[in-house]
Amino acid sequence: MRLGYYARLFGVQARASLTTAMQYRADFLVQGLTSLYWLGWNLVPLLVLYDDRTTVAGWSFGAALVVMAHFVIVRGILEGAINPSLGAVVEQIRSGAFDYTLLRPADAQFLVSTARFAPWRVLDVLGGVGLLIYAFVRLGQAPSPAQLGAGLVLLGAGLAVMYGLWIMIVATAFWVVRMDNLIYLLSSVFDAARWPASVFRGVWKVVFTFVIPLALMTTFPARALLGTVTWQAGIGCLVGALLVSVAARLVWRLALRSYTSASS
Amino acid sequence: MTIEVAGLSKHFKVHRRPPGLAAAVRSLWRRRYDTVKAVDDVTFTIARGERVGFLGPNGAGKTTTMKVLSGLLHPTAGTVRVEGHQPFRREPDFLRRITLVMGQKQQLLWDLPPSETYALNRAVFGVDPAQARQTIAELTELLGLAGLTDKPTRQLSLGERMKCELAAALLHRPTTLFLDEPTIGLDVAMQVTIRDFIRDYNQRHDATVLLTSHYMDDVVALCPRVIVIDGGRLIHDGDLRALVKTMIPDKLVSFTGGVPAEEVARLGEVVKAEGGRTTVRVPEARLREVVSHVLDRAGADLAVEDPPLEDVMRKLFKDKRAGAPAPAGEPAP
């Protein structure tokens, strides 16, 4: 019953986002072209890097391309499904329009997380999938069904981690009101997820594994597809995703209590 | 009782900063906080189906009280019950019974027609499709929404948008309405439409209404009872007419021509004289005498009115600040 209720709610919100996107046809077109442009541009550093070497930190060009494809997919989901709504919440909290979210008898975190989608980002995700297929063709191998399954599960875990981090950032907006810069910062840091995690050394390795677990978002799902992930690491990813999700929920609920609402 | 408020206080910590760039830089790492008592020990109850005006100057604590009552803010102290619930728990059953309309904020999706917001609210509040259709038909008729709900919100005029906002807020047929400045910025005709609609909704659904408005006409037309707060404290709760009578026990008598100038001065204090129409302020005890005198001279063109509520409020706040005793609040009907 509750599941059906939230499924319906999701449907209505998604339809509203789609309708909004359709209303601005020119924008739709421009966004599509931008997606293609970025897809191409993303490859440039990789091509430069592998121009005169065959492996970087043990990663061949094809394998690094698998990580890159994951980066494109995850970023497409981030820009298409997470950033639009959560960015809007920060603005709503500042203006006080968030009041109306709290007046609705549904979970506020669900409402804000599904409030806005950018449908054309589907193109990014499709581009990423295309890149993934190309990478495997180049490698001359194909993931087994088990590897495919593990890859999808770890991709899900990676997305959960990213969503959790973003929720925690947004939650801080309840206390400090202006949060835009932290969102930019996190978006910039996320850019590092285009590289296999083992490329990073020293302090960055620690930061990207434990503080902002970029490795969980792209490298581990990619390694699962390539069949190079141990099952211990896989379980570690799932536990990490669970911990981040629970922490995000707790922080969100705590933050909601200190919502002060802007004046009329 | 639909609304029970006992000893309600809501305090905010606000960051204080002297003007100037130097102070702004200093405030980056050292901040001084002051406690503002937005609402301070307020107690009242409202029965099912009552229409109550909630009055007070800007910053008196009206909106804060409304937000506590609708569950948006945690009270600092005191107890609040609305529709049998503690609002800040935000239980779905509570939220389905109330609504809060804020004239200065909007819930309609800006780029989409209001009908999309209705679809969203229908899903969120779990309103049965048949009932939703019926409610929308009813609201469309009462508010004159025909042709508006399919235009993108951004293309609607302020008045049209407000009507659509009201419909969005009432789609789930709440039985307690918190209306915070629902007529702000609207022209007189639109104000009257909204006012009539609120009264009609109140009677049809036996809904409880708590209303704030800067337009005293709204309050006079809609609310037999008023609660007045100033500086976060309750200073009057009772019958509106009784309040007016206690504060300014005079009537305004206006008429055109007929009465010689020297006689006008003897009738009472002249408040206004323009376009051939004279208005004098008359103590209630002398009303009968003055009216019959004017009727003798000026004929039938005569009107007797209560003093404007604005004057009453101004006097009430002035007296309060000067420390005069409060007028005896009459129990609510």
| Chain B residue nearest residue A99, CA to CA | B72
Helices A2-23 and B114-124 cross at an angle (nearest 10°) of 170
The secondary structure element, H or E, covering residue B229 is strand B225-230
What are the angstrom distances between the C-alpha of B96 and each of A44, B49, B122? 54, 17, 11
Look at B124 and A20 and tell me if their CB atoms are within 8 Å: no
Which portions of chain B are predicted below pLDDT 70? Answer: 298-300, 321-333
Please check whether residue B247 is in contact with residue B236, taking contact to mean a CB–CB distance below 8 angstroms.
Answer: no
What integer pLDDT is reported at residue A179 of this predicted model?
60
Q: What is the CA radius of gyration of chain A?
A: 19
Backbone angles phi, psi at B50, to 5 degrees: -75, 150
Q: Which of A23, A97, A261 sits opposite B67 (nearest CB)?
A: A261
CB-based contacts of A61, cutoff 8 Å, min separation 6: A46, A50, A54, A138
Best CA proximity match to B124, nearest among B184, B71, B158, B172: B172
What integer pLDDT is reported at residue A260 of this predicted model?
64
Q: Which of A9, A104, A264 sits opposite B63 (nearest CB)?
A: A264
The shortest C-alpha distance from B12 to chain A (Å) reads 8
Please check whether residue B95 is in contact with residue A103, taking contact to mean a CB–CB distance below 8 angstroms.
Answer: yes
Chain B residues touching A12 at Cβ < 8 A: 119-120, 123
Output the six-digit token pair for B317: 């706040």
What integer pLDDT is reported at residue B331 of this predicted model?
42
**Residue A242 and residue A235: Cα distance in Å, rounded?**
11
End-to-end CA distance of chain B: 13
Please check whether residue A180 is in contact with residue A89, taking contact to mean a CB–CB distance below 8 angstroms.
Answer: no
**Residue A83 and residue A104: Cα distance in Å, rounded?**
22
Please check whether residue B132 is in contact with residue B171, taking contact to mean a CB–CB distance below 8 angstroms.
Answer: yes
Can you tell me whether residue B115 is helix, strand or coil? Answer: helix
Look at A103 and B72 and tell me if their CB atoms are within 8 Å: yes
What integer pLDDT is reported at residue B84 of this predicted model?
93
> pLDDT per residue over A88-139, tens digit each?
888 888 777 889 999 999 999 999 999 888 888 888 899 899 999 999 999 8
What integer pLDDT is reported at residue A24 of this predicted model?
72
Give the single-character DSSP code of A210.
I
What kind of fold does domain B3-244 have according to CATH? Rossmann fold (3.40.50)
Give the single-character DSSP code of B280.
E
Q: Average pLDDT, stretch A196-211?
A: 74
CB-based contacts of B212, cutoff 8 Å, min separation 6: B53, B54, B55, B56, B62, B63, B66, B179, B180, B181
**Residue A76 and residue A162: Cα distance in Å, rounded?**
12
What integer pLDDT is reported at residue B70 of this predicted model?
94
Chain B residues touching A13 at Cβ < 8 A: 120
> pLDDT per residue over A204-222, tens digit each?
777 777 667 888 888 899 9
Chain A residues touching B119 at Cβ < 8 A: 12, 15-16
The shortest C-alpha distance from B48 to chain A (Å) reads 21
Q: Residues of A near B (CB-CB distance < 8 A)?
A: 5, 8-9, 11-13, 15-16, 19-20, 23, 95-97, 99-100, 102-106, 111, 257, 259-261, 263-264
Look at A8 and B12 and tell me if their CB atoms are within 8 Å: no
Please check whether residue B266 is in contact with residue B274, taking contact to mean a CB–CB distance below 8 angstroms.
Answer: no
Q: Does residue A23 have a pLDDT over 50?
A: yes
What integer pLDDT is reported at residue B49 of this predicted model?
94
What integer pLDDT is reported at residue B179 of this predicted model?
95
Residues in chain B: 333
B21 exposure class (CB count in 10 Å sphere: 0-12, 13-18, 19+):
exposed
Find the range with the poorest average confidence among A37-41, A166-170, B59-63, B222-226: A37-41
What integer pLDDT is reported at residue B332 of this predicted model?
38
**Residue A55 and residue B90: Cα distance in Å, rounded?**
57
Most confident of the following: A113-117, A185-189, A256-260, B32-36 = A113-117
Residue with tokens 């986002």: A17
**Residue B90 and residue A255: Cα distance in Å, rounded?**
15
Question: Does 3.30.70 match the CATH number of domain B249-306?
Answer: yes
What integer pLDDT is reported at residue A86 of this predicted model?
84
**Residue A114 and residue A104: Cα distance in Å, rounded?**
14
Q: Does residue A264 have a pLDDT over 60?
A: no
Look at B152 and A23 and tell me if their CB atoms are within 8 Å: yes
What integer pLDDT is reported at residue A133 of this predicted model?
94
**Residue B332 and residue B51: Cα distance in Å, rounded?**
11
The percent of residues above 70 in pLDDT, for chain A, comes to 95
**Residue A123 and residue A204: Cα distance in Å, rounded?**
31
Q: Average pLDDT, stretch A48-70?
A: 84
Give the single-character DSSP code of B327.
P
Backbone angles phi, psi at B96, to 5 degrees: -75, -15
Best CA proximity match to B179, nearest among B113, B191, B189, B118: B191
Burial B204-237 (b: 16+ CB within 10 A, else e): eeebbbbbbbebbbbbbbbbebbbbbbbbbbbbb
What are the angstrom distances between the C-alpha of B231 and each of B148, B235, B317? 40, 9, 10
What integer pLDDT is reported at residue A121 of this predicted model?
84
| Chain B residue nearest residue A12, CA to CA | B120
Kindly list the domain boundaries of chain B, sorted by start residue.
Answer: 3-244, 249-306
Kindly list the domain boundaries of chain A, sorted by start residue.
Answer: 2-257
Look at A260 and B119 and tell me if their CB atoms are within 8 Å: no
Look at A100 and B105 and tell me if their CB atoms are within 8 Å: yes
Please check whether residue A89 is in contact with residue A108, taking contact to mean a CB–CB distance below 8 angstroms.
Answer: no
